[in-house]
A and B are shown apart, each in its own frame.
Chain A
Amino acid sequence: METTWAAGKMAPFRQGVQAGAAIAIGYMPIALAFGLLAKTTGLTFAETVLMSIVVFAGASQYISLSLLAAGTGVFEIVLTTFVLNIRHFLMSASLNEKAEPDALWKKALYAFGITDETFSVAAMKEGTINASYMFGLIAMAYGSWVVNSGIGYAAGSGLPESLQESMSIALYAMFIGLLVPALKKQRKIVWLAGLSALFNSIGTFALHLSKGWSIVLATLLSAIIVQWLTKEGGNGGE
């Protein structure tokens, strides 16, 4: 998507903000619902917003609520969170390859904002990424996440149910919108995405792996197999 946007001479921060708009919209229904669910789980407003500020990871925040409701201990909740978010290791390692040499403290700052969504958008951007771009991108995603968590709690309701249902497709549609143009360009990418989709389905349905492990293993396996099969061809890159 960035071909049109990046073509201009827009400052990286603004470019990041624009690219983050789709994430901001996609986070809205999820964050609103999280705020609402946190309230019904018995968290205070401050705890709810604090969690979104400190953790900034949707799936694990949801799971922590259902574990709390089930009376699970803190240690186990933290451990579950860790397993679910190990996949970010892979994402950061991949982004590191296309990151411009910014100061480490800047990288450490934007590393905090790496989610499935910010990663996907940044990784699909043409060329390199730098701290300014990442700050713009993450400001949108993080802002939407934190603010809408608070609104969901305070308002005591999410979006109207039918809109909430329709908007549950938003982030998936964003992933599809990022992936499809790449698929059209290169057959190798069809294999990468197809194999990992297959492996993740097997991991989920046949092996009953947790979501965290299933995504990590499917991604790694697919990325390694395709690399191994194509390395003879020479051009492993774009």
Chain B
Amino acid sequence: MNSAIVWMIIGMGIVTYLPRLLPFVLLGGVELPSFWQGVLKNVPYAVLGALIIPDVFFIQDDLSFGVIGFVAAVITAWLGANVMIVVLAAVAALSLYSLFV
């Protein structure tokens, strides 16, 4: 193995692990003010919004890929399907679409 690459990997590993670890260490037994507890409870929903949009529309050069996959996922999720079904439905919709392009 090339040692510069290995050092890079170790460096990347450290700077990736620290943000994952530190909150558990720093906030372990800390009771945050209720406002910030509320903010942290909001975070998952806000994260999901930002993880989905706008990136979902740019999964392929062909914009309609993202749009069709997005719509298929939203509809199946809206109908109450569990996550695995939503994933399979979106992939199936795009497989179907790519048959016709």
Mark A residues whose CB is within 8 Å of B. 1, 4-5, 21-22, 25-26, 43-44, 46-47, 50-51, 54-57, 60-61, 64, 68, 74-75, 77-79, 81-82, 85-97, 99, 104, 107-108, 111-112, 114, 116, 119-121, 123-124, 162-163, 165-170, 172-182, 184, 189, 192-197, 199-201, 204-205, 214-215, 218-220, 222-224, 226-228, 230-231, 236-238
Chain A residues with Cβ under 8 A from B12's Cβ?
Answer: 51, 54-55, 57, 60-61, 64, 77-78, 81
Known: A89-B23, A166-B91, A169-B59. A175 touches B9 (CB 8 A): no
**Interface membership of chain B positions 1-42, coded 1 if the CB is closer than 8 angstroms to chain A and 0 otherwise:** 110111111111101110111111101100010110111111
Indicate which residue in A74, A168, A177, A184 contacts B59 across the interface (CB closer than 8 Å): A168
- Shortest Cβ distance from A196 into chain B, in angstroms? 4
Known: A92-B24, A96-B23, A108-B21. A26 touches B43 (CB 8 A): no
Chain A residues with Cβ under 8 A from B4's Cβ?
Answer: 74
A169–B21 touching, CB < 8 Å: no
B48–A22 touching, CB < 8 Å: no
Known: A55-B13, A85-B16. A175 touches B39 (CB 8 A): no
Nearest chain A residue, comparing its CB with the CB of B52: A175
Chain B residues with Cβ under 8 A from A165's Cβ?
Answer: 60, 65, 94, 98
Bound CA–CA A4/B60 (angstroms): 34
Indicate which residue in A85, A93, A121, A218 contacts B27 across the interface (CB closer than 8 Å): A93
Indicate which residue in B24, B50, B73, B91 contacts A99 across the interface (CB closer than 8 Å): B24
Chain A residues with Cβ under 8 A from B73's Cβ?
Answer: 169, 172-173, 176-177
Nearest 10 A/B pairs, CB to CB: A193-B49, A177-B86, A169-B69, A123-B44, A173-B90, A180-B77, A197-B53, A236-B38, A223-B42, A78-B11
Bound CA–CA A56/B15 (angstroms): 12
Indicate which residue in A92, A99, A120, A205 contacts B48 across the interface (CB closer than 8 Å): A120
Nearest chain B residue, comparing its CB with the CB of A176: B73
**Interface membership of chain B positions 71-99, coded 1 if the CB is closer than 8 angstroms to chain A and 0 otherwise:** 01110111011111111011110110010
Indicate which residue in B24, B47, B91 contacts A167 across the interface (CB closer than 8 Å): B91
Chain A residues with Cβ under 8 A from B65's Cβ?
Answer: 165, 168-169
Bound CA–CA A91/B24 (angstroms): 11
- Shortest Cβ distance from B64 into chain A, in angstroms? 12
Mark B residues whose CB is within 8 Å of A. 1-2, 4-13, 15-17, 19-25, 27-28, 32, 34-35, 37-56, 59-60, 65-66, 69-70, 72-74, 76-78, 80-87, 89-92, 94-95, 98
A47–B1 touching, CB < 8 Å: yes
B86–A174 touching, CB < 8 Å: yes
Which of A25, A123, A175, A218 has the most chain B CB atoms closer than 10 A to its own CB? A175
Q: List 24 A-B contacts (CB under 8 A).
A: A43-B5, A56-B16, A64-B12, A87-B47, A88-B16, A90-B43, A92-B19, A112-B17, A121-B83, A124-B44, A163-B95, A166-B94, A169-B94, A172-B69, A174-B83, A179-B48, A193-B45, A193-B46, A200-B54, A201-B54, A219-B46, A222-B49, A236-B34, A237-B38
